[in-house]
Amino acid sequence: MDKLATNLDELPFDLMIEIMDRLNPKDLGKLCQVNKNLYKISNDEFYWKQRYLHDLPKWNVLYSHSYTNSNFEAYKERYTSICPELVIQNQILDYLETFQRRQKALNARSTSENISIENSFRLSATSVLSKFSNFFNLNIFGPRSEPKIDKLVMFGPGLETTTSCLVTKILWDSDFKTLGMIPGKDGYGSGIKLKLFNSKPFNLTILYTNVKKIRSSSKHCLDQNRLLVATQNENDQVYELQPRVREACSDAVGFVYIIDSMHLKKLIEDNDVKEIENYRFELKVLMKEMDKNLPLLILSCNTNKDTESMSPISCAKIIEYLDIANLDREWCIRDCQIFQDKLKDAVLGFEWILSSVNNKSLINRIKKIENEDF
């Protein structure tokens, strides 16, 4: 009779692999710390390769800073650098570190300022005049204009297909509070003023490639894309942004690219190379002309409730086909189910891009404080 295993590391290898498959990455990391034998098993290269290839199509969100830096030979390092659960955990630690830096910088500035009690209560003639001027301007000319509101620009082929209902759903979703509508200029730049429950108000400008009638009756054709203008050089035709589109994007702090995952999946299955190239080209042209410090949110939208029989294309495959990994900016791609009552996926995506913008602003303020001469 075979001896029964009394310890975890005495289990057969295949049974141990079965247990490891049922553990999440965080618990799997703890397992390897138990003893040398479990450390060896949990670092098996073949196991991590199989798990990586199995889990990658399932991940519904991927980030640029982890995905583009994942060219590791070891599959365990590649897995742990891309896995959304571990990436989010690292992001939280980064945000905590940023706020600690901010507090440290502010404390350093406050301790270096040695203002006497006498000076703190003394009002100079200049400050009195300044207060009077502020009072005069407020009561005679009215209150000052509101502070500048961050603007996001939303575009993409997903606004031309069945997933175009995303805009309507945002207007009526309880997590997105609609504060008003934004008029456009010469047919460009219209949008919505919104507020998420835990963020500042922001403007969402929506760029369509053409009027609704033309969008619904044709493919995603570059010749009918009014966001772009064609110019002829010595060899061939070159596309660039329309001046009015460039103007509408000039004060944006980030971009939202909408994809219809079902439509893109069908194009890939039909091997429609030209249409896929049009998708890629529009994104490439717009991003090329925009500041590379501005983040990009990619929402892979799906309106099909029957996800088992017709599952959307994975985020990893979209990155591959649209060459997203080579974009020269911070990006996040996320699956977005828009047949549900709540736009949970869209909310998480917008929270990411707004926090990315605010975090960059916070880091810049910290650097400014740290570089001040006290």
What is the model's pLDDT at position 300?
A: 93
Q: Could you please state the CATH topology (level 3) that the domain comprising 150-348 is classified under.
A: Rossmann fold (3.40.50)
Highest mean pLDDT among 62-71, 72-81, 112-121, 287-296: 287-296
The per-residue pLDDT for range 328-341, each reduced to its tens digit, is 899 999 999 887 66
Are 312 and 304 in contact by the 8 Å Cβ rule? The answer is yes
* Residue 190 burial by Cβ neighbours in a 10 Å radius (0-12, 13-18, 19+): middle
What is the model's pLDDT at position 30?
A: 75
> How far is residue 279's CA from residue 294's CA, in Å, rounded to a whole number?
20
pLDDT at 253 exceeding the cut of 90: yes
* Residue 336 burial by Cβ neighbours in a 10 Å radius (0-12, 13-18, 19+): buried
> How far is residue 301's CA from residue 43's CA, in Å, rounded to a whole number?
36
What is the model's pLDDT at position 104?
A: 64
Q: What is the pTM of this model?
A: 0.76
Are 157 and 220 in contact by the 8 Å Cβ rule? The answer is yes
Highest mean pLDDT among 61-75, 131-145, 198-212, 322-336: 322-336
The per-residue pLDDT for range 45-72, each reduced to its tens digit, is 888 888 888 888 888 899 987 776 555 5
For range 78-98, the mean pLDDT: 67
For residues 6 and 201, the model is more confident at 201
pLDDT at 119 exceeding the cut of 60: no
pLDDT at 153 exceeding the cut of 90: yes
> How far is residue 264's CA from residue 271's CA, in Å, rounded to a whole number?
10
